[in-house]
């Protein structure tokens, strides 16, 4: 952990600031980036937010969205290298390893500016000059709020900045139900309400803005693709490229699917495996003691949080699913003794 006075010193004069976040940004990634950008602009800094890939349309309402540069190796590689190479301060938000952001990671690694990491994932890579990572925080947006507050500038958090931060905290806590939803989280939300945020608007823009096709895709997945393995208290969903195409699946359309699998009573471990062509992307969730962070780190080149993590596989979807299934027996005792793994009630 670095001290706030080091950051204060760094930002004591107007700077060229670069902000980035993880691949396929979610609401915490984009919300913490745009919340921080809005604040730094008010302080007189020149800020460019660059995302390593596109992101879902339901995040486009965030103030500052129109100025985001979406990196594309074929379109704007030189422009982005220039932005990174000339930045005096580089903020990396909501990811902990530079290899998570593809080519841009190497540009940042070799950039001459001062790197600042603000993140809540486990086991951060040591690449930053200033490190404000804290894996017990519920969201990176929570940490961004604290950084702004500790810099003595909480009064600069207006409704626009506040709604960006609220979106990050709301989604990363699963709408304030994950165990990470601390007293501190609720106190911060109270401060954001003071700043004038409209929380029901934010909720609706994020959760109630699906396309009709997305809802029909969800219906198909739950009816035909969900597999429940009672002997392991595990549920999983595997989706082929063809199925994504049939339902015209857009970035973000598969987000949250894993939570449906986890919402079945007695299920303590859930996985969604999606064939994205170049690789199979996997989301893991758990409730209770079972660590999906270790599971994905040990078997699927991933990591993340204790109860929420991601992984990747470069073999076919079928063989990835088989590998996943073959791993379950060695975890059976952990999965069936998990305190929340109660047998379904007999009616």
Binding site for Mn ion (CB under 5 A): 28, 94, 140, 172
The residue ranges of DSSP E strands in 130-255, in sequence order, are 130-131, 226-229, 234-239
Rounded (to 5) percent helix, strand, coil in the chain = 45, 15, 40
Please state the length of the chain.
347
Sequence-separated (6 or more) residues with CB below 8 Å from residue 285? 258, 259, 261, 262, 269, 270, 271, 292, 307, 308
**Euclidean distance between CA atoms 189 and 179, whole angstroms:** 16
Query: For the chain, what is the total number of helices (H) and then of strands (E)?
Result: 13, 12
CB of 235 to Mn ion, least distance (A): 24
- Please say which residue, 28 or 131, places its beta carbon nearer to Mn ion: 28
> CB-based burial of residue 178 (10 Å sphere; 0-12 exposed, 13-18 middle, 19+ buried)?
middle
- Please say which residue, 113 or 162, places its beta carbon nearer to Mn ion: 162
CA 256, distance to chain mean position in Å, is 12
User: Residue 49 carries which DSSP code?
Assistant: E
CB of 148 to Mn ion, least distance (A): 17
Residue closest to Mn ion (Cβ):
28
CB of 157 to Mn ion, least distance (A): 19
- Please say which residue, 116 or 238, places its beta carbon nearer to Mn ion: 116
- Please say which residue, 28 or 125, places its beta carbon nearer to Mn ion: 28
- Please say which residue, 10 or 258, places its beta carbon nearer to Mn ion: 258
CB of 205 to Mn ion, least distance (A): 18
**Euclidean distance between CA atoms 70 and 329, whole angstroms:** 42
- Please say which residue, 1 or 347, places its beta carbon nearer to Mn ion: 1
**Euclidean distance between CA atoms 252 and 59, whole angstroms:** 10
Sequence-separated (6 or more) residues with CB below 8 Å from residue 261? 226, 235, 236, 237, 267, 270, 271, 272, 285
CB of 36 to Mn ion, least distance (A): 13
CB of 77 to Mn ion, least distance (A): 27
- Please say which residue, 110 or 186, places its beta carbon nearer to Mn ion: 186
**Euclidean distance between CA atoms 285 and 293, whole angstroms:** 9
Q: How many CB atoms lie within 10 A of CB 54?
A: 16
- Please say which residue, 140 or 234, places its beta carbon nearer to Mn ion: 140
| Torsion (CA) 214, 218, 224, 228 in degrees, nearest 10 | 150
* SS3 call for 271: strand
CB of 167 to Mn ion, least distance (A): 11
- Please say which residue, 138 or 270, places its beta carbon nearer to Mn ion: 138
CB of 221 to Mn ion, least distance (A): 24
CB of 132 to Mn ion, least distance (A): 14
């Amino acid at each position: 952990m670095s001290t706030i006075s080091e950051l204060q010193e760094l930002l004591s004069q107007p700077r060229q600031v670069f902000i980035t976040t993880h691949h396929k940004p979610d609401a915490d990634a984009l919300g913490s980036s745009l919340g921080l950008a809005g604040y730094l602009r008010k302080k007189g800094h020149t800020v460019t937010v660059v995302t390593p890939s596109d992101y879902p349309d339901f995040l486009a309402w965030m103030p500052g969205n129109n100025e985001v540069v979406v990196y594309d190796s074929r379109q704007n590689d030189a422009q982005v290298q220039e932005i990174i190479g000339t930045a005096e301060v580089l903020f990396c938000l909501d990811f902990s390893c530079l290899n998570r952001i593809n080519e841009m990671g190497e540009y940042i690694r070799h950039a001459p500016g001062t790197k600042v990491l603000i993140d809540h994932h486990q086991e951060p890579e040591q690449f930053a000059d200033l490190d404000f990572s804290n894996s017990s925080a519920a969201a990176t947006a929570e940490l961004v709020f604290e950084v702004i507050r500790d810099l003595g500038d909480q009064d600069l958090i207006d409704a626009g900045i506040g709604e960006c931060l609220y979106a990050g905290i709301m989604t990363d806590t699963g709408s304030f139900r994950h165990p990470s939803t601390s007293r501190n989280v609720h106190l911060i939300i109270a401060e954001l309400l003071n700043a004038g945020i409209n929380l029901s608007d934010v909720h609706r823009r994020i959760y109630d803005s699906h396309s009709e096709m997305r809802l029909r895709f969800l219906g198909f997945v739950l009816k035909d693709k969900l597999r429940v393995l009672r002997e392991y208290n595990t549920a999983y969903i595997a989706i082929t490229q063809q199925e994504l195409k049939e339902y015209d699946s857009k970035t973000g359309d598969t987000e949250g699917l894993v939570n449906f699998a986890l919402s079945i009573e007695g299920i303590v471990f859930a996985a969604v495996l999606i064939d994205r062509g170049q690789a199979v992307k996997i989301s893991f969730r758990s409730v209770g003691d079972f660590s999906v962070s270790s599971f994905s780190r040990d078997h699927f080149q991933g990591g993340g949080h204790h109860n929420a993590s991601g992984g990747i596989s470069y073999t076919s979807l079928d063989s990835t699913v088989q590998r996943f299934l073959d791993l379950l027996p060695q975890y059976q005792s952990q999965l069936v003794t998990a305190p929340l793994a109660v047998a379904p009630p007999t009616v």
